[in-house]
Structure 1
Amino acid sequence: MMNSQRLDPQNVAEELQRHILDSAQVQEFLTQLAIHASDSLSRQGPRIHCGVTLLRDRRGDMAASSGPEAALMDELQYKYDEGPCLSAARNGEVFHAPHLSREKRWPEYIAEIRGTGVESIMAAPFDLLGEALGALNLYAEGAAAFDEDMQDLALAYAAQASASIRLAVRIAQLLDTTKDLKAALASRTVIDVAVGIIMGQNRCNQEEAFSILQRASSTRNMKLRDVAMRIVENVAPGDVGTHFDG
């Protein structure tokens, strides 16, 4: 992939965009990103395991890793709710722990990971422009692995990855919106059909029929859609679709 000391931004961007197209979900893309980052940055020096942390208010938190080593490092941070990666994601700052044997920050987390083989950590925040909070989590099998050059490489990678993550998150949001819209259309269709049935049975207008449906919903303490569905099923069992179904 990358054999020189400098990462090729165009190459990184193109490969990550390809992974977006090949991934069915954000979670799958983040896993591919973590693997790609680990492979790319490990070519520059000691073996580096990579994790990705993504914090989204509405849809919950997401995490991915290049392998079991990074997964363990990340999971322990989430367990104690502390660590360089969570700090980077939440504060939007780079956090570097070059010698875990001397590290005084995040005491519970550091105590837990001593002896795992990881000796230095770097966490770089993603610039997600308000879409979410996130960080690239890098774990090295060697002390002081992130010298100035390696830090520059990691920051360059995080900058390229940020654009791809923003795109992946927006695609996921559009898919969520589409699902919500389809659900709303399906619900509206059932209610409209039920109103039509009530109009026919009671020889009333649409407004009066809808009022009858609302009263039934209130009296039975059921959602309007559920009452409507029962009415429809009593007349014509089976699924009710919309003209917008794909």
Structure 2
Amino acid sequence: MESVINTSYAARDHSAELTKVLLKHQDISGVLSSISRLAAQRLSTGRRILCGIVLERARKNTVVASSSPEAQQMDEAQAGFDEGPCLQAQRSNTIIRVFDVRQEKRWPQYMDEVRSHGLRSALAVPLTVNATATAAMNFYTHEAAAFTEEDVEAAKEYAELASTVVAIALHIAAHAENAEDRRIAMESRTTIDLAAGIIMGQNRCSQDDAVRILKDASNLRNIKLRVLAEQVIASVGHGPTSTNFES
């Protein structure tokens, strides 16, 4: 009974700890970095544990966060080679354990990098986030066969708590990104409309014709429509303009 009560208290402490992470950080990278540091502390009982988190988002760049520069380097290498226990854990949703990297035959390029840093054991635990992202926590030590069954269970429990925090952080980030996308789209639309108005006045044409002129010039010059529109607007009031695209 006592161990059950202690486990319950520990879970509440960890949950409260992770909740504070959301209040402290405004971006995914900051949230993941804090979680990786806390996870490393939780498993570092009489030994040094490194922790990294790799997050892959649909149509977004891979985010790598870590508890230390060394762990960061390991997971950046993993992402660069596109192979390793953390990536396999998140893609297969299974726990991956490497007892001794010197004997490991999987992920040869990545294992060479790990060996060169004197690391000997690895443990990768998937996080459950949302339908558009996958993530996993990667733990490293300098001792072989360092992760026991108890360590695996502790890592799983912490990953379950961390998954909720990461899922919430991703939800918040998605809303912020959508709002920023809408803002940029509105700014682009306003810029293009202003440039079209200038061309309408210069060419005595309709708005549709002015937009077509802009688009044709954009394709011909191989520059983005908004960039060309900004050039048109900037040219007004600075001597003779060169915005008359049709002869």
Contact 2:127 2:134 in 1 (8 A): yes
Tell me the percent identity: 37
Structure-2 separation of matches of 1:191 and 1:139: 52
1:16 aligns with 2:18: yes
**Superposed displacement of residue 230, structure 1:** 4.1
**Superposed displacement of residue 75, structure 1:** 3.3
Q: Mark the CA change 1:7 to 1:33 in structure 2 (over 3 Å): closer, same or farther.
A: farther
Larger deviation, residues 85-94 vs 105-114: 105-114
**Superposed displacement of residue 57, structure 1:** 2.9
- 1:152-200 deviation digits (Å, cap 9, x = unpaired): 1000111111111112222222222121111111112223334445566
Q: Mark the CA change 1:224 to 1:144 in structure 2 (over 3 Å): closer, same or farther.
A: closer
- Show the counterpart of 1:213: 211
3-state SS of 1:128 partner: strand
The 5-angstrom pairing of residues 47-58 of structure 1 reads: 47-58=48-59
Q: Which runs of 5+ in 2 are unaligned?
A: 1-5, 239-247
The 5-angstrom pairing of residues 141-180 of structure 1 reads: 141-180=142-181
Q: Mark the CA change 1:191 to 1:150 in structure 2 (over 3 Å): closer, same or farther.
A: same
Contact 2:74 2:113 in 1 (8 A): no
Larger deviation, residues 80-89 vs 58-67: 80-89
Q: Mark the CA change 1:202 to 1:100 in structure 2 (over 3 Å): closer, same or farther.
A: closer
3-state SS of 1:155 partner: helix
Structure-2 separation of matches of 1:108 and 1:229: 47
Instruction: Output the amino acid matched with 2:44.
Output: S
1:41 aligns with 2:39: no
Structure-2 separation of matches of 1:199 and 1:80: 53
Contact 2:197 2:210 in 1 (8 A): no
Instruction: Output the amino acid matched with 1:181.
Output: R
So what's the TM-score if we normalise by structure 2? 0.80
So what's the TM-score if we normalise by structure 1? 0.80
**Superposed displacement of residue 53, structure 1:** 0.7
Between Structure 1 and Structure 2, how many residues are aligned? 230
**Superposed displacement of residue 107, structure 1:** 3.1
**Superposed displacement of residue 219, structure 1:** 4.2
Instruction: Output the amino acid matched with 1:71.
Output: Q
- Show the counterpart of 2:87: 86
- 1:75-94 deviation digits (Å, cap 9, x = unpaired): 34334332211211221111
Q: Mark the CA change 1:177 to 1:77 in structure 2 (over 3 Å): closer, same or farther.
A: same
**Superposed displacement of residue 233, structure 1:** 3.5
